[in-house]
Structure 1
Amino acid sequence: MLRSRLFLLAPLLVFLALAYLVPFLGVMRWSVTLPEPGLGQYKTALTDPLVLSVIWRTVRICALVTVLAVAMAYIITLLWVRGGPVMRLFVELCILIPFWISVLTRAFGWLALLSNRGIINTWGQEIGIFSEPLALVRNEFGVVLGMVHFLIPFAVFPLASAMRSVDERVLLAARGMGASRARIFWQVFVPMTKTGIFGACLLVFVFALGFFVTPAILGGGRSVLVAELIWLRIFQSPDWGLGAAISVIMMVAIGLLLALTMKYAKGTGR
């Protein structure tokens, strides 16, 4: 039985090894051989003020994006799972349609809306809301907005799974004991969906760490994140060794994060 399972999994394991493991090993080799053998690039990555500032900015922005995206996704998922038929259909379309639009198209769409000569600033000046264009792009605000918009649909699915597994009898029991709707929501419903919240936060945060196109376009080079820094080091400096070292550090950090969160999830599931 075990052999048959391994036989069926073999093509997938070979594909994963060729598509991910082999390139990653190549990046690790660059990090300890370029421009000269040793661990000097790792020392530079962990001590250079520029690299550390980019890493800190990345973690800070990704944490903010995670909170905002999951909070908005929770409201959307609540309408999707517990709303009426018309509301469910409308919300489902709002969730699925963004998957048909590429990340590049979305980023340029936000740029057309938020730039100094974009729709928002043009209309706002024409009707007299503000006299000068607002700085809505080429900063962290534009980066956060674009990332949140892209990641909300990804947070919906783990939240929907958790909400659909909520036992209605528990909610009815709380209602029968005189609890208000707000109290039932915050003290009963939300705690019962904490696994979905946890999964959505993990999914969004890991995705956000690797964002490149949206921060590059909406940040305009003023809010550089780790993925863009790696690209700059490899393709513009060029400093392949340092770019590879930063890549390895981020991969190891993400792996440790996933391991810790999986351990926490198993602990809470007992």
Structure 2
Amino acid sequence: MRGIGNNWKSAALMMAPLLLFLGLCYAIPFLGVARWSVTLPEPGLGQYAVLVSDPLVQSVFMRTFRICIAVTVVSVAAAYAISVVWVRGTPSQRIFVEFCILIPFWISVLTRAFGWVALLSNRGLINTWLQAIGVISQPLALVRNEFGVIVGMSHFLIPFAVFPIASAIRSLDERVLLAARGMGASRTRIFWTVFLPMTRAGIVGAALIVFVFALGFFVTPAILGGGRSVMIAELIYLRIFQSPDWGLGAAISVVLVVAVGALMAVVMRFVNPRRMV
């Protein structure tokens, strides 16, 4: 029993600096924001009533969740294919995939967003090339809409989804796959009935990471959306720095944090966190 108690004390001492840092940098500022939400411009829950009744705020929330779901599906699907090649490919394929995964981390999100503008705008490379070969006569609307936002956000978040999925694939027991193959199952059937279910925890972990990151995106939607696909983070910025309506911006922030916490609690309730990494 003494050993267990000493272990807990050692763990608490090791975690104390991290907990102190999180408290100073996140908990205290969040409590301040929560206080603004019920005191500005006057005490009460009026700002939360606005969240429920204001069609503009409701439409932004719906758009945000719609975009985040689409980004999560695209990112996880692409990350799964990349992870399979990274873990089970040839040495040359693995090296190539590693470069593709790591290089985006060296490029800022702002640079990537403007890069997609150069590619997808009406006079961008894609529209110019399609018009030059006669495929289209008028430029396609690829930016300043939800499509451009989804493309830019997915490009940024795919590398983050790769790691939990790749970890799940590496932990697969090859004997199970060999047994399925020995019983005459085709590659397609092995993938859908054995390989994919055994990596489900990695998929759930990747989806959670991508969805939570996507909820707080600001730069990419602001640039690629062009003000026409406003998401929650941009709405908070507009309410605090341009309206100004600090109370409503704070209320939106509190609801967003609570929603993310509830989502993580639900996922952790049904999925073992240790199997996500």
| Same fold? TM cut 0.5 | yes
Change beyond 3 A, Cα 1:89–1:149: same
Alignment length (residue pairs): 269
Matched, 1:35 2:41: yes
Q: Distance in 2 between matches of 1:95 and 1:268?
A: 23
Q: Distance in 2 between matches of 1:65 and 1:140?
A: 10
Aligned match of 2:239 in 214, 233, 237?
A: 233
Q: Distance in 2 between matches of 1:104 and 1:132?
A: 28
User: TM-score scaled to structure 2, two decimals?
Assistant: 0.95
3-state SS of the aligned residue for 2:135?
coil
Q: Distance in 1 between matches of 2:50 and 2:62?
A: 16
Matching of residues 1-270 of structure 1 within 5 Å: 1=6, 2-266=8-272
In the TM superposition, what whole-angstrom CA distance separates every residue of 1:29-51 from its partner, at most 9, and x where no partner exists?
11001000000001101221110
Q: Return structure 1 stretches of 4+ with deviation > 4 angstroms.
A: none
| Overall identity of the aligned pairs, in % | 72
Give the partner amino acid of 2:246.
W
Cα distance, 1:5 vs structure 2: 2.5
3-state SS of the aligned residue for 1:21?
helix
Give the partner amino acid of 2:248.
L
Q: Distance in 2 between matches of 1:127 and 1:110?
A: 21
Q: CA RMSD in A?
A: 1.3
Q: Distance in 1 between matches of 2:252 and 2:120?
A: 32
Cα distance, 1:267 vs structure 2: 10
Q: In structure 1, list runs of 5 or more residues that go unmatched.
A: none
Give the partner amino acid of 1:12.
L
In the TM superposition, what whole-angstrom CA distance separates every residue of 1:50-81 from its partner, at most 9, and x where no partner exists?
10110011111100110111001100000000
Q: Distance in 2 between matches of 1:20 and 1:268?
A: 25
Cα distance, 1:126 vs structure 2: 2.1
User: TM-score scaled to structure 1, two decimals?
Assistant: 0.97
Q: Distance in 1 between matches of 2:273 and 2:228?
A: 41
3-state SS of the aligned residue for 1:15?
helix
